[in-house]
Amino acid sequence: MTGLWLIVVAAAVLAFSGLPACFFSRRSCAAQRLSAALMILGSAIGGYGVFLSLSAPQNEAVSLPWTLPWGRFSIGLDALSAVFLIPILLVPMLGAIYGLGYWRQADHPDNGRGLGLFYGLLAGAMLMVVVARDSVLLLMAWEVMAVSAFFLATTENENAAVRRAGWIYLVATHSGTLCLFALFVLLKKITGSFALSAVETGALSPTLTTILFLLTLIGFGFKAGVMPLHVWLPGAHANAPSHVSAVMSGVMLKMGIYGIVRLIALLPPLETWHGGLLLALGAGAGILGIAFAIGQSDIKRLLAYSSIENIGIIVMGIGLASLGRTLHRADFVVLGLGGALLHLWNHSLFKSLLFLNSGVVIHATHTREMNRMGGLARHMPVTSTLFLLGAVAICALPPFNGFVSEWLMYLGFFGSLQVSASGGAAWPTAALGAIALAAIGALALACFVNALSTTFLGVSRQPLAHEPHDPDLSQLGPMLLLAAGCTIVGCAPQYVMPLIQQAASQWLDADAASAASLLSYVPLRWIGGIALVLLGAAGIGFLLLRLRLRTRSVCGVGTWSCGYARPTSRMQYTSTSFGQMIVALFAWALWPQTKAPKIQAPLPSAGFFSTTVPDTLLDHFVLPFFRWTGRLLPRLRLLQQGRVQIYLLYIVVMVLLLLIWETIGNKS
């Protein structure tokens, strides 16, 4: 059996992994373990399939007729698909193992089985999205994915906020699908079939190219959460169970990116301003996304906004690569797209790690509010170390993986200042991308220092019913594996590069692809070596500290006690106060809402102060728009009289109108 068919089998096993559990008792943890075992089995089959097809010399493709009136059952596997397959096979499986301890079916009899069912379905559908080579098949898998994600995000649907977030997600994802329908119908008109095949150069007018590009960007951008289209993302991620958030953020957002990368690969080279638009969108999404993240005090909303930021970085890389394709700069393509794809892997590793971590924290503190946490590092040393690792990785600091991918992009942006050796044009404006990337990095650092310190450092801000402790191995194991992934990619990037390189060269013609090698642009061995040295130094420092502490007595003082004799837990920086300065800097975009008492008398009465940073776009533009249409459209109720006769009259009038229209149409 070929690798491709193994992946189809894997998709089926994953998709139905939650089904057997539905026949067991609603409290049966054995059934949940069965689902997790099926997830592992499916992922193992898929992983073997990817391995087989990667070791084969050429790309595989199968196209079979089916009984539907449109399209064919066309699937295929190339390096680009393989890049996206690996997170799909990895993260949902780890999430399912994590869910054994985190979402024990015995504790969640009402929604445990449904969660398992849609969890598997989501993973299977994503596999099919990536291997589909026919737009009808792709859209079918896409819808299964979108709808299962809706049911996952609304797992706790007894809660009104969860339902609201779910509805917003559903509306957003279907708005995207609408654009995809238009896109694929247009493509069918141009190429003559629903097959996802390359459009010949010269077959498109510039206007048509622009329309196709914008439809791709909007249709897939809704799923990826590219900044103006991100409104569904924070709510859905924050309200889903943590392992679901990990899959949604770590993998499902990437399906939108997959769509954009795949479609641009099919289209002939875009115009320069398309690449510029992508770059600007990415930079804006990155900076504003992380600024919004700083303003959040809900740990999962913070992580969700950070996903928007990372998607922004990925889109910047795609923009650079698109420029490179237009300007015949192979180095832009390889560095930009290579950086974007590697960052996509990295993001699925460290963001999943952070989301799983946040789940452990939420379990321990029973709140998502960071302003009520604190001091967890003492009780949960492993969890807090893993969070630190994930935070360092997501801030793109060496020695972890985020650094490598952003380094590739930096090199690409710097390269835009000079004419390439093969004579490709320079496009100095793109160098602004390096500045944006640096700003994003700095803000991300601020954001995660905030998250780490208010959650894990200091002392607890609320009395906890139980002493928090590190979770058992079913939850720690997946987190440890993800952390190991972050470290390996950070320390030995040269081993993952061949696949990334192969995938990125899909945007190039064959001779340019053979000339442009990532390894020749980037001293990857050096990066890996330095990372290893840094890790070693950190390890030695840690050991020295332990040795030193063994001989000395340590007095337990609260962090940030600032010399007070009797500090209380309220004398700490909260998450909100920590981020206040940056929130104020970005107040033009964040529109923070502050409620402060007016102090008039010399001895004022008790007052309350609160500040929140809601999503500007959602709260001030999207929801008002829908409320406005909600007021306007009920006037159409006039048509709904509740009388059978009138409804029948509508039919008669419509038939008559059609008859008249047809007669006139025939005459003219």
Partner 1 sequence: MNSLLNAALVLVLALNLFALGTSRILTVIRTVTFQGILLGILPLLVHGHPSLPAVYASAAAILLKGFAIPFMLTRAMRDVHIKREVEPLIGFLPSMILGAVATGFALIFAGELPLADEHMTPLLVPAALSTMFIGFILLTTRAKAILQAMGYLVLENGIFIFGMMLVEAMPLIVELGILLDLFVGIFVICIIVNHVNQAFSSLDTRHLAALKE
By CB under 8 A, name the binding residues for partner 1: 640-646, 648-649, 651-652, 659, 663, 666
Nearer to partner 1, 555 or 638 (CB): 638
Q: How far is the CB of 661 from partner 1 (least distance, A)?
A: 13
Residue nearer to partner 1 on the CB measure, 463 or 642: 642
Beta bridge partners of 595: 610
Determine the straight-line distance between the first and last CA of the chain, rounded to whole angstroms. 60
Q: Which is nearer to partner 1, 587 or 653 (CB)?
A: 653
Q: Is 435 exposed, middle or buried (0-12, 13-18, 19+ CB in 10 A)?
A: exposed
* Shortest separation between residue 642's beta carbon and partner 1, angstroms: 3
In 3-state terms, what secondary structure has residue 564? coil
- At its nearest, how many Å lie between partner 1 and the CB of residue 202? 43
Q: Rounded distance, CA 476 to CA 611, Å?
A: 35
Q: Look at residues 274, 159, 130, 157 and name the one whose alpha carbon lies nearest to residue 214.
A: 274
- Cβ-count burial 91-125 (b if 16+ within 10 Å, e if not): bbbbbbbbbbbbbebeebeebbbbbbbbbbbbbbb
Min dist CB 619 to partner 1, Å, is: 29
Q: Considering only CA atoms, which of 146, 310, 320, 122 is closest in space to residue 225?
A: 310
Q: Considering beta carbons, is residue 542 or 650 the nearer one to partner 1?
A: 650
DSSP 432-475: HHHHHHHHHHHHHHHHHHHHHHHHHSS--SS--SS------HHH
Please tell me the distance from the alpha carbon of residue 247 to that of residue 351, in angstroms, as a whole number: 9
Alpha-carbon distance of 115 to 154, in angstroms, equals: 9
Task: Give the residue with the Cβ less far from partner 1, 597 or 630.
Answer: 630
- Residue type for position 122: L
Cβ proximity to partner 1: between 554 and 644 the closer is 644
Q: Which amino acid is at 569?
A: S
Q: Which of 104, 145, 124 is nearest to 9 (CA)?
A: 124
**Selection from 374, 378, 371 nearest residue 556 by Cα:** 378
Taking the least distance from each CB to partner 1, the nearer of 465 and 664 is 664
Burial class of residue 660 in the structure, from the number of CB atoms within 10 Å of its CB (0-12 exposed, 13-18 middle, 19+ buried): exposed
Q: How far apart are CA 88 and CA 50, in angstroms?
A: 12
Place of tokens 């279907």: 174
Cα-flanking dihedrals φ and ψ of residue 63, to 5°? -140, 115
**Closest CB 509 distance from partner 1, rounded Å:** 54
CA distance 393 to 388: 9
Closest CA to 212 of 258, 260, 255, 256: 260
**375: its two tokens:** 């001091």
**Distance between CA atoms of residues 268 and 200, nearest Å:** 7
> Which two three-digit tokens encode residue 174?
């279907």
Q: Looking at beta carbons only, is 55 or 666 nearer to partner 1?
A: 666
Q: Quick one: 584 or 655, whose CB is closer to partner 1?
A: 655
Q: How far is the CB of 657 from partner 1 (least distance, A)?
A: 14
d(Cα 498, Cα 82) in Å, to the nearest integer? 12
Minimum gap (Å) between residue 169 Cβ and partner 1 = 26
- Is the CB of 562 or the CB of 652 nearer to partner 1? 652
* Angstrom distance (rounded) from CA 476 to CA 481: 9
Q: Give backbone dihedrals phi and psi of 201, rounded to 5 degrees, phi first.
A: -65, 135
Residue 22 C-beta: closest distance to partner 1, Å: 35
- Nearest distance in Å: CB 630, partner 1: 15
Looking at beta carbons only, is 554 or 651 nearer to partner 1? 651
Tell me the helices (H) and strands (E) count for the chain, helix number first.
Answer: 27, 4
The least distance separating partner 1 from the CB of residue 631, rounded to whole angstroms, comes to 17
Is the distance from CB of 289 to CB of 329 less than 8 angstroms? Answer: no
H/E element holding 76?
strand 73-77
In the complex, least distance from residue 660 CB atom to partner 1, rounded to whole angstroms: 9
How buried is residue 322: exposed, middle or buried, by Cβ count under 10 Å (0-12/13-18/19+)? buried
Least spacing, CB of residue 649 vs partner 1, in Å: 5
Closest contact distance (angstroms) between CB of 651 and partner 1 is: 8
